[in-house]
Amino acid sequence: MKKHYIKRRHHLHKGLCLFGLMGLALLLTGCGKTGEKTSIVLEPLHYKMDALKPYISDQTMRVHYGKHYAGYVDKANQFLKGGGFEGKTADEIIVLTAGKKEYTAIFNNVAQAWNHAFFFTCLKPDGGTVGGELADRIIKSFGSIETFKQEFLKAANSRFGSGWTWLVLDGEELKIVTTANADTPIAHGLRPVFTVDVWEHAYYLDYQNRRADFVENVLNHLADWDFVSSRLTSAK
Ligand code: MN
């Protein structure tokens, strides 16, 4: 997974190519920076819409990925236009706008775009089992893999209303936290390692009010534990 979800588009660079050496000289002096734009990108799914069945239906995926997530990406880009965040990464924008009333719309949409890109990357068909260093670290923090899953499930169930359940690194320590609405561990200096979306739109078509069944199925069948492990390694 990419570190963030921003593409920097160097429109000015392209234009300058027409001017050959003059353009090159300008680039070398750093003028290209003035052409930087920030855009939040809709991350492609690395599996098919129906690949997560029977635990998540393609109907849910089409709405969740294609409408909710895509909607946050579109709105984030609308709100970012001319907002002074040019050249910033999504992570940086989240930190800069968190808790600031005047930036609520930007924070909500950029954070939701980040959260969803991360959530969909955390999933794959036949997610596998928790192993290697991840297993050791989970056992060290929670006692056993089973206890970790139970505590994650308990946290997901106790999140009132819309939000997210996370496994995060707080420094070197693994912790389970929940966030409300668009809030994200990035805003609190924590490193996301794994997440499950517990907004109703994530499970209602398939599970109605049975959030626990949804989260349990994600943990046992869809969580991509190799990807989760990679989040530990890249943190070092
Ligand atoms: Mn969602």
Q: Which of 5, 221, 195 is nearest to 109 (CA)?
A: 5
- Assess if CATH 1.10.287.990 describes domain 11-31+54-121: yes
Contact assessment for residue 73 and residue 113, using Cβ atoms and an 8 Å cutoff: yes
Q: Percentages helix, strand, coil for the chain, rounded to the nearest 5?
A: 55, 15, 30
Local confidence pLDDT in tens for the 236 residues of the chain = 444 444 444 443 443 333 433 433 333 333 333 446 678 999 999 999 999 999 999 999 999 999 999 999 999 999 999 889 999 999 999 999 999 999 999 999 999 999 999 999 999 999 989 999 999 999 999 999 999 999 999 999 999 999 999 999 999 999 999 999 999 999 999 999 999 999 999 999 999 999 999 999 999 999 999 999 999 986 55
Cα 21 to ligand 1 centroid, rounded to whole Å: 48
Q: Which CATH architecture has domain 132-235?
A: 3-Layer(bab) Sandwich (3.55)
Q: Give the domain ranges of the chain.
A: 11-31+54-121, 132-235
Cα 26 to ligand 1 centroid, rounded to whole Å: 43
For ligand 1, a single-atom ion, the residues with CB < 5 A are 197, 199, 202
pTM of the model: 0.84
Q: Which amino acid is at 167?
A: L
What pLDDT is stored for residue 219 in this prediction?
98
Cα 180 to ligand 1 centroid, rounded to whole Å: 12
Q: Distance between CA atoms of 185 and 170, rounded to whole angstroms?
A: 10
Cα 198 to ligand 1 centroid, rounded to whole Å: 7
Cα 159 to ligand 1 centroid, rounded to whole Å: 14
Cα 61 to ligand 1 centroid, rounded to whole Å: 10
Cα 197 to ligand 1 centroid, rounded to whole Å: 6
Contact assessment for residue 186 and residue 94, using Cβ atoms and an 8 Å cutoff: yes
What pLDDT is stored for residue 236 in this prediction?
53
